[in-house]
Amino acid sequence: ATINSFLVIDLMGCCCVYIVFVAKNLSDVVNHYAQNNWDVRIYMAMLLPPLLVLCLVRNLKYLAPFSMLANVLIAAGMSITFYYIFKDTDKFEKVPAFSSFEQLPLFFGTAIFALEGIGV
């Protein structure tokens, strides 16, 4: 029961982080191009209805086309990211090899977040 409780807390926290992440990125893109200054919470509220509809799908076979589209978009996004990373390789010399100890908690938070799928 204790492990299940911690898994529920972990997965709920990760879902909240994903919603904040998507809302923040959506806010940045829309605010840049539309030049409005809406709060991130408005974007979170706008994301809520589509996410609730997705959560109500009982048979996962209906989500397969969306999953395929997501995989294609992830591959395209990674390709674009790697293009910009390796476009100017002389910038690597200016980046420090190690960070300060103040950044260590950020590293652990990122590593734990990356491993959150273990509970699924």
pLDDT of residue 48: 92
Is 113 within the bounds of a domain? yes
Domain of residue 22, residue span:
2-56+88-119
pLDDT of residue 55: 86
Q: pLDDT tens, 21-55?
A: 899 999 999 988 888 888 999 999 999 999 999 88
User: Which position has the higher pLDDT, 75 or 36?
Assistant: 75
Is 66 within the bounds of a domain? no
pLDDT of residue 107: 84
What's the CA gap between 23 and 44, in Å, rounded? 5
Neighbouring CB atoms inside 10 A of 43's CB total 21
Question: Looking at the 3D structure of the chain, how many domains does it have?
Answer: 1
Is 83 within the bounds of a domain? no
Is 36 within the bounds of a domain? yes
Is 8 within the bounds of a domain? yes
pLDDT at 118 over 80: no
pLDDT at 74 over 80: yes
Is 42 within the bounds of a domain? yes
Average per-residue pLDDT for the chain: 86
Q: Which residues of 23-36 are buried (b: 16+ CB within 10 A; e: fewer)?
A: beebbeeeeeeeee
Is 29 within the bounds of a domain? yes
